[in-house]
Amino acid sequence: MAQEQDLDFKSMPKIELHAHLTGSISRQCLHEIWEVKKAAGETDLEDPLVVMPLGRHDYDLTTFFPLFSSYIYNLINDAPSLEHSTKSVVRDFATDGVAYLELRTTPRAMPAAGLDKAGYVAAVLQAIAQEEAQTQTQTLHTRLILSIDRRNTLAEAYEVVSLAKQFRAQDQGVVGIDLCGDPTKGDVSLFTPAVKEAQAVGLKVTIHFAEAEASASLAELSTIMSWMPDRLGHVIHVPEGVKRQIEAQTGIGLELCLSCNVHAKMIVGSFEAHHFGEWWRVDGPVVVPCTDDVGIFGSPLSNEWRLIQEHFRLQREEILGLARKGIDVIFADDDEKVRLREIMW
Ligand SMILES: [Zn+2]
């Protein structure tokens, strides 16, 4: 057992593939942004540390989405706050020992700040590049996934695909698209042509999958599986037949988010009941532990690995092997995979 305790999860090089940019902003960072705006008379919002007290992590589907639409998006609403928060998120992942990060964000126009959706994506990519150039984060490489929101129209979904295509060119950092948002909203079949278009131009695809009962009808899950996505996020309310389908998809990535699912009560029971325990040994799919929204749920990736060791009793070699297996399902190119195979233990 002594050897098990030798694993230092913070210094273990790790891969994070399911992290929403805005949900990954620490409360301290939100507070800093608020302080500047408050002093300049630019906001009437309450202090984030009052709205989201430190230590509160029990956000569920009814409180989570309104927190963004009525608060965080109103605080991060211009180029300086977007830049400050993006850099802070990248720095936090680097400090936690993440070697490769895929952030995701829904392109958001900020008209008051003169940013259209393309301007938003460009600002995020620039902030990532500037933060990566800092000495302390040199081992971290970050890529960006652009999300379609379930409430989007097909035209808006096409716009996301078009932005992803534009910012993938010349290796600017965008690698794929995602479908996310309030699981009680929208009909995913609307987006089939946009997803096909993304794949046709060589973009990778990850989809929030059976995140809540409302988004786990057989019709929805069959539609998503018919898209042949590269990765699935959450994978919670999955009927047995669909599980067999996933198992048969050799090399499909499963982004599993333990603390998020437990704190938000998206699963029944606590960590030991999480479906990570069911999937991590299965041969075909590649399981990658992810944080989802570390700013909300408060558990950095190093802690997710610690929880895995604690609740599922994985041995040291099993943990390191699983972490390395994640390399196979990143959306970056082969050069990046080679780099990661060299630095991951
Ligand atoms: Zn998510």
Above 90 in pLDDT, residue 3? no
Taken in order 299, 304, 308, 314, is the CA torsion positive or negative? negative
Ligand 1 center from residue 197 Cα (angstroms) = 22
**Annotated catalytic residue: which of 159, 211, 220, 304?**
211
Three-class secondary structure of residue 199 per DSSP: helix
Three-class secondary structure of residue 50 per DSSP: helix
Confidence grade of residue 278 (pLDDT, cut at 50, 70, 90): very high
User: Is 211 annotated as catalytic?
Assistant: yes
Distance of CA 63 to the CA centre of its chain: 19
DSSP string, 243-292: HHHHHTSTT-EEEE-HHHHHHTT-SSSSGGGSTHHHHTT-SSSEEEE--B
The pLDDT tens digits for 38-58 are: 999 999 999 999 999 999 999
Instruction: Please report, for the chain, the start and end positions of each structural domain, with discontinuous segments joined by +.
Output: 2-343
The pLDDT tens digits for 55-69 are: 999 999 889 988 998
Three-class secondary structure of residue 300 per DSSP: coil
Whether the Cβ atoms of residue 17 and residue 290 lie closer than 8 Å to each other = yes
Angle, in degrees to the nearest 10, between helices 218-226 and 240-247: 10
Which candidate, 67, 165, 91, 89, places its Cα nearest to that of 121? 165
Ligand 1 center from residue 3 Cα (angstroms) = 34
The pLDDT tens digits for 107-131 are: 999 998 999 999 999 999 999 999 9
Confidence grade of residue 1 (pLDDT, cut at 50, 70, 90): very low
Ligand 1 center from residue 208 Cα (angstroms) = 6
The CATH homologous superfamily of the domain defined by 2-343: Metal-dependent hydrolases (3.20.20.140)
- Environment class of 247 (CB within 10 Å of its CB; exposed 0-12, middle 13-18, buried 19+): middle
Q: Which residue has the higher pLDDT, 61 or 192?
A: 192
The pLDDT tens digits for 214-257 are: 999 999 999 999 999 999 999 999 999 999 999 999 999 999 99
Q: What is the CA radius of gyration of the chain?
A: 19
